[in-house]
Amino acid sequence: MQSPENTSHEGETELKVYASLDSLYMSVFQKSFRKNKAKDDAMVCSTLSATVLVTNPLSISAIATLTGFRCNQVQRLLELIQSLLMLPEDLDHPVQPFHKSFPDFITDPTRCSDPRFYISPDYHTELAIRCLELMGESLKKNMCSIPNYALNSEVEDLPKRVEESGIRGALEYACRSWYKHLITTTHRTADVVSALRDFLEGKFIFWLEVLSVLGATGDAVRALTATTKWLNEVCSERGLDTQAS
């Protein structure tokens, strides 16, 4: 068993390490973005939220699609802080932080002292809405051109069809992870419910088709279970109408 003195010493050492990292991260941000305007700060935070809040790493091209910015804009922005990120040359390969301490820093207001760069939980709302909008814009019937009445297991070139369909990247992420952002949403609830209603009324079946060809039908069960709980616990408290009109 550790003595109180040892525990206290370890705690002080950990705080010093965090303070050193925080100072390093903040200096990188302030040096890289010192001439930014307010609109540029908004793009920085939107891009970073799609880098550090996503449930699995996205590529530059997928981040661009998800945020609505041009691919070269996202690439240039992330290159400004490339000392903190692993940036592959291939724009379709995932971007990842070098160390978990970076996402921890930028999502903690007590550590990220410059509010211009703090990624608050509210950005989960933006990601949820964008995922729902992207599915609304992109999903369509039988995206992989599966022959009528054929089982997925009977389509020998199904992987090739998936790759050629445009599902991979941002759309696949949206289909599989939209609800993970939705269940953390605590603001703009009415906007989220509206986007959710449009998606469920217009693209629900096409969403199930995509999950089926991805071999991810279990995600549908998890998404609907989590969404039902969120609607009951959050929307009902705010007196919102969660029924489809």
**Per-residue tens of pLDDT for the chain, all 245 residues:** 555 554 444 445 555 566 788 999 999 998 888 766 555 778 899 999 999 999 999 999 999 999 999 999 999 999 999 999 999 999 999 999 988 899 999 999 999 988 889 999 999 999 999 999 999 999 999 999 999 888 888 899 999 999 999 999 999 999 999 999 999 988 888 899 999 999 999 999 999 999 999 999 999 999 999 999 999 887 566 655 555 43
- Final residue of a domain: which of 78, 106, 134? 106
Structural domains in the chain (count): 2
CATH code for position 25? 1.10.10
Q: In terms of residue numbers, what domain contains 158? A: 122-238
Which pLDDT score, from 0 to 100, does residue 2 have? 53
Which pLDDT score, from 0 to 100, does residue 75 have? 95
Q: Within this chain, do residues 126 and 232 fall inside the same structural domain, yes or no? A: yes
Q: Within this chain, do residues 131 and 231 fall inside the same structural domain, yes or no? A: yes
Q: Within this chain, do residues 132 and 226 fall inside the same structural domain, yes or no? A: yes
- Final residue of a domain: which of 106, 131, 157? 106
Q: Within this chain, do residues 147 and 174 fall inside the same structural domain, yes or no? A: yes
Question: Which pTM does this prediction carry?
Answer: 0.86
- Final residue of a domain: which of 76, 106, 136? 106
In a domain, 112, yes or no: no
Residue 199: which residues within 8 A CB-CB, separation 6 or more? 132, 135, 136, 207
**Nearest Cα to Cα of residue 127 among 41, 48, 198:** 48
Q: Within this chain, do residues 93 and 134 fall inside the same structural domain, yes or no? A: no
Q: Within this chain, do residues 81 and 167 fall inside the same structural domain, yes or no? A: no
Q: Within this chain, do residues 226 and 200 fall inside the same structural domain, yes or no? A: yes
Which pLDDT score, from 0 to 100, does residue 9 have? 47
In a domain, 117, yes or no: no
Q: Within this chain, do residues 92 and 132 fall inside the same structural domain, yes or no? A: no
Angle at 91 between CA 135 and CA 141, to 5 degrees: 25
